[in-house]
Structure 1
Amino acid sequence: MNGQRGSTDEQSVADLARRLLAVDTDGWSPEGVTTMADGLGWARGGTADRPVLVTGRSSGDARLRPVGTYEKPYTDGESYVELAVPVAIVAPDAAAQAAAFRAAGEELTAALGRPSVMGSHGDMGPFYDSGPLWGAPFMRWRGMPDTLELRAGTSGPELVLQPTGPAENWFWRQGIGEEHAISGFFGSNRDPANAGLSFPGGWTARSWETVTRSLGHFLDALPAEATALGIGIGMPLYGRARGSAPLLFDVACGDRLSIGCFAPDGVDAASLGWGTVTEHPGTASVWRDDDPVWRVDAGGPGEPEGRALAEMLVATASAAGVSEPAGLIVGGEAEYVDGYHVTYYGLGLPTG
């Protein structure tokens, strides 16, 4: 079917969200999706492999995701696992994408309240999708039987309505312990909507190359994702060496990423790539002029060179006597972000 029906009125993101939350999905069966389309006033279109609902919105039609090979193990009778509605077409640079996501998130928060879950899908979205290169932030208003998510799409933010069970079942079952089994980070708050929410186990990096890869990906996208989500992350990293684990790095990120280094005596931090406040004056707003002495201003959305930063951190940790990845420890303080308890699944590092 290639119906042409669809509203020509451009609804606000908040109004669209309310409509999505009010529709009857009826188990996400073919009949249920037809009922949902009728409730929204949108016609069925596309093909069997790439079905859409014709929205009439300038940002494009809504995409239905049928249950296929990758989705089937996590479903319980559903024929579809999500309806993704683009809400804006945005310039491809990280700053523009992050700003558009943040604007949509602020509008939704004003209308629906704070999201019960937020985080980043990392480089592996639900059901093994790959996210945008600039970052993969999401905000989620969890419900039963359906959940609404604001997600970073390929061209701009998208509102995604999904049956709660399959998405959470997929996420929980990724906790198999293999390297890179889960990416990104996941934060939940004390909203009653999170009752019964299950959390997967993590994984542990087994080599410095794994740490370099995972840390590089995290740092590369962090200022864009923090900007998009409207959060600030403070992450101390401790280095276990010679029987103690002093503070080694301090990662501070809001709309810019700054990293401080507390290199022990005998480590030539300058030769490893660290500068001082003179070379990185923007960091003076993060730390005092002399504490830490060594630091780097890695920039705002789209600017950090994640791989190079990760290589510098790993080289410094090794020079400081940290002999294995398990000796690089994420401080427990980093788990508390603006009222959310956050797990950094994508890093593969211990927390303590």
Structure 2
Amino acid sequence: MRALAAELGWAWSGTPDSPVLVTGRSSGDARLRPVGRYEERYVGGESYVELAVPLATVAADDAAQAAAFRAVNEELTAALGEPSVLGSHGDIGPFYDSGQLWGAPFMRWRGRPDTLELRAGKAGPELVLQPTDPAENWFWRQGIGEEQSISGYFGSNRDRANAGLGFPGGWTARSWETVTRSLSDFLGALPAETTALGIGIGMPLYGRTGSGAPILFDVTCRDRLSIGCFAPDDVDPAALGWGTVAQHPSTASVWSDDDPVWRVDAGGPGEPKGRALAEMLVATARAVGVSEPADLIVGGEAEYVDDYHVTFYGLGLRTG
């Protein structure tokens, strides 16, 4: 690290526990994260687990943060090619850091022995150089099966750089309150994250009842979040908060006809009311006759996002 700092013309500063590299950049100085007691179980001889370089200082609103991330995303992709891994850290960032309130998207160019990651930082996007094994070992070891042990979502493509990539086990929600909380976190940040990453997510949700497992919801998001509802005739979606295309005209570009009849336009970055949306989905599922969280199922087609296979760890819902 000292040799790298010297080569870049950066001055070494700070303390041994919190070293700083003075870059002279307007976006701020770089930070090194030494191996501490929370990291030592995941490393194999490394002194540092991250070198984080701020790339921009951006206004705190979600749309500005997402746009700044997207701009750097496009610049890095043009220079390095498509990232081999992308997703969202959710509210539990690497080595137990907390995610950003607007969203926690990341793009990763995996390598050996080091990996380069574009990450949502506190003031704007950050470029993070990290030894590959500690970061992946930390993630893999979170798969303990306890509720909300892993948050966010993780996608990988078929790039040869992903050879040997391991995937942790997930967890399953055991209560409707846990489902509400996980859906709230997911939906509230989704349009900001998909905008930042430049992806679109289409997620059908099915509900197992005594009469099968029909589709209940269609969650669609690129730069705006739209949710469609396929409730049976004996349920009143309007009473649960759903509207029609007349009330949510922007959804006409998502579903061109009257199927689904019931829908909601939740808005773009920073606009979705995650908790209210989650409560509406859970109330609708229960009104339809979905008796427990294990019977609310993410459609398998949701796992294919562009060229990436994505696992939605943070939802705690079964996939089928």
TM-score w.r.t. length of structure 2: 0.99
1:324 aligns with 2:292: yes
Match in the other structure for 2:241: 273
Mapped to 2, the partners of 1:241 and 1:39 lie a distance apart of 63
Match in the other structure for 1:73: 41
Match in the other structure for 2:120: 152
- Which of 162, 172, 175 is 2:143 aligned to? 175
Letter in 1 for 2:76: L
Q: Deviations over 1:203-256 (max 9, x none)?
A: 000000000000100000000000000000000000000041000000000000
Instruction: Give unpaired runs (5+ residues) of structure 2.
Output: none
Match in the other structure for 1:207: 175
Match in the other structure for 2:24: 56
Mapped to 2, the partners of 1:85 and 1:113 lie a distance apart of 20
Mapped to 2, the partners of 1:239 and 1:90 lie a distance apart of 41
- Which of 296, 309, 312 is 1:341 aligned to? 309
Letter in 1 for 2:136: E
Taking the TM superposition and a 5 Å limit, the aligned residue runs for 1:1-352 are 33-352=1-320
What percent identity do the matched residue pairs reach?
82
Give secondary structure in 2 for the equivalent of 1:238. Answer: strand
Give secondary structure in 2 for the equivalent of 1:323. Answer: coil
Letter in 1 for 2:282: V
Mapped to 2, the partners of 1:55 and 1:160 lie a distance apart of 14
Give secondary structure in 2 for the equivalent of 1:223. Answer: helix
How far did residue 325 of structure 1 move? 0.3
How far did residue 41 of structure 1 move? 2.0
Mapped to 1, the partners of 2:52 and 2:99 lie a distance apart of 14
How far did residue 50 of structure 1 move? 1.6
**Cα RMSD, aligned residues only:** 0.7
Mapped to 2, the partners of 1:196 and 1:36 lie a distance apart of 28
Match in the other structure for 1:27: none
Give secondary structure in 1 for the equivalent of 2:148. Answer: coil
Mapped to 2, the partners of 1:148 and 1:40 lie a distance apart of 17
Give secondary structure in 2 for the equivalent of 1:310. Answer: helix
Mapped to 1, the partners of 2:9 and 2:118 lie a distance apart of 21
How far did residue 340 of structure 1 move? 0.2
How far did residue 70 of structure 1 move? 1.0
Match in the other structure for 1:13: none
Instruction: Give unpaired runs (5+ residues) of structure 1.
Output: 1-32
Q: Deviations over 1:178-211 (max 9, x none)?
A: 0000000000000000000000000000000000
Mapped to 2, the partners of 1:173 and 1:40 lie a distance apart of 35
Mapped to 2, the partners of 1:97 and 1:200 lie a distance apart of 29
Mapped to 2, the partners of 1:244 and 1:288 lie a distance apart of 27
Match in the other structure for 1:14: none
Give secondary structure in 1 for the equivalent of 2:318. Answer: coil
Mapped to 1, the partners of 2:283 and 2:17 lie a distance apart of 48
Q: Tell me how many residue pairs correspond in the alignment.
A: 320
Mapped to 2, the partners of 1:49 and 1:224 lie a distance apart of 34
Mapped to 2, the partners of 1:203 and 1:262 lie a distance apart of 27
How far did residue 265 of structure 1 move? 1.7
